[in-house]
Structure 1
Amino acid sequence: MPNSNVTRIEIKSYAVWDKPTRLFHWVNVMLVLALVLVGGIMMYRSELGITELTGKIGLKTLHVCIGYAFALNLIVRLVWGFVGNKYARFSHILPNAKTKSDLMLYKSELAAGKNPQYLGHNPKGKFAVLAIMLLLVTIMLTGLFRAGTDIYYPPLGGAIQSYLAESNVDPASLQPYDATGVNVEKAATIKAFKGLAGEVHVYAVYLLLLLILLHIFAVIYTEVKRQPGIISAMFSGKKMIQGQPKDE
């Protein structure tokens, strides 16, 4: 005879991720992959037989153009973090004063064999989101700086040309990777900042790729072991929650 005392846990669908948030996510994935691909070709262009200056500038220009799309997408997401729905806002997806205690409670519930459900990110996920957003912003800012110093592209290219040009030279006449008309001392000063920005840019990308791999692993693990439907939610916007969500 069936046990009539067994409690059924209700599964309910919640609208969580709005369209702009989902669009940012997938556009960002595609643009990051494109930037990494072109950036890798740039780093190994000699091994690939791309030795001409025109090829170098062409790759840099392509990288920068994709970077503009990446920057625009990121800026829109940063704005949406203040005006989007509850689950898109930074006040909900980033760590706050309560996150430390929430994290301790989350860990204790997992240790007790419970399965806490979240509409947004769980406390661990919030720290991952913060790290990824900081890296994306760092990559954007250093990339824009290098676009200005390498090939004199906006928003800093005009100012860099004006700074580097000799007093009797039209700044607009300066060409990428060409020292003609460039003040040697000022070029040396820019080179130091350019080198630093380049190193920060590259290592930020390496760290981002590492976090992306960890993110993919964590999402798959959570999907299989703890909260089914979180992957499909980034397509549909809806999460299926068993019982009462912790962050409703």
Structure 2
Amino acid sequence: MTTESRLHEEQIWDRSIRIFHWMNVLCVLALIVIGSAILNASSLGVSSEGKITLKIMHAYVGYVFAFNLLWRLVWGFVGSSRARWGAVMPFSKSFRSDLKEWLHGVRTGHPPEYRGHNPAARLMLLFLYILLVGQMATGLVLAGTDLYFPPFGHEFAEWATGAGEDHSRLVGLVPGAKEMLDPQGYAAMREFRAPFIEIHKVFFWLLLVSAFLHVLAVVVEEVRFGSGLVSAMISGKKVFRRQPRD
């Protein structure tokens, strides 16, 4: 029997998963570029007003990223069988033995095929989703502390200005302006902000490294085993040479 005659194709990834994946790629790339510019604003000679503009751009892209991620989180409970968290996360009873078998197959050049994600990919996805959710959560807080943007911006504006229920004191408040701020309230708000920005920065670097490793793993799989992972995330169809384990 020839290799070609053993090949068979199956529809694996539904449209929602494919749209989420490529939207997430675009958003993460944009957020990394803009975030890098914000982190290096002084070195790049960016003015204070320019830095605020970069933060606003970062926040708008972040909202798209957050909406896309929230949809994926929901889809993991109500979507197709391959989209559900039970098929994605490394929590099955057989996971350890599956991982050992897969690693042995990689070493021998014949890893078992999976319709969904292989065991190593499941571990990577768990780590990536922790980072993505962490970035979303801390980013929404920072959008509030730095720009007074939703969903928490109004509360942070009240805190920073000492306005309380006197919302007239918030009229004219703009990001970066210090004239309307209450020194004690603003200092307390910035102290509250401190751990969120640190987590956001650490997760930024972890996400950068993880994204690189993810792309590298896909390239290695494509070159070494001809797995067609990229085309599968475009068409939704995967080609198998052997009977998949799942």
Helix, strand or coil: the match of 1:239? strand
The whole-number CA distance in structure 1 between the counterparts of 2:109 and 2:196 is 47
* Structure with greater helix percent: 2
Cα deviation for residue 165 of structure 1 reads 2.4
Q: How does 1:100-139 map to 2 (within 5 A)?
A: 100-111=96-107, 114-139=110-135
Q: Tell me which amino acid in the other structure corresponds to 1:26.
A: W
What residue number does 1:49 align with?
45
Q: Give the 4+ runs in structure 1 shifted more than 6 A.
A: 6-9
Q: Tell me which amino acid in the other structure corresponds to 1:140.
A: M
What residue number does 1:21 align with?
17
What residue number does 2:147 align with?
151
Helix, strand or coil: the match of 2:45? coil
- 1:56 to 1:92, Cα distance in 2 relative to 1, 3 A: same
The whole-number CA distance in structure 2 between the counterparts of 1:237 and 1:122 is 16
Helix, strand or coil: the match of 2:230? coil
Q: Which runs of 5+ in 1 are unaligned?
A: 1-5
**Partners of 2:161 and 2:186 within 8 A in 1:** no
**Partners of 1:158 and 1:172 within 8 A in 2:** no
TM-score by length of 1: 0.89
TM-score by length of 2: 0.90
The whole-number CA distance in structure 2 between the counterparts of 1:225 and 1:58 is 44
Helix, strand or coil: the match of 2:98? helix
Q: How does 1:190-229 map to 2 (within 5 A)?
A: 190-229=189-228
What residue number does 2:242 align with?
243
**Is 1:67 matched with 2:66?**
no
1:24-75 per-residue CA deviation (whole Å, 9 max, x = no partner) reads: 1111111111111111222222333322x32222111111111111111111
Helix, strand or coil: the match of 1:13? strand
Helix, strand or coil: the match of 1:133? helix
Q: Which runs of 5+ in 2 are unaligned?
A: none
Identity %: 39
- 1:50 to 1:113, Cα distance in 2 relative to 1, 3 A: closer
The whole-number CA distance in structure 2 between the counterparts of 1:131 and 1:137 is 10
**Partners of 2:77 and 2:84 within 8 A in 1:** yes
Q: Tell me which amino acid in the other structure corresponds to 2:215.
A: I
The whole-number CA distance in structure 1 between the counterparts of 2:77 and 2:98 is 23
The whole-number CA distance in structure 2 between the counterparts of 1:121 and 1:164 is 46
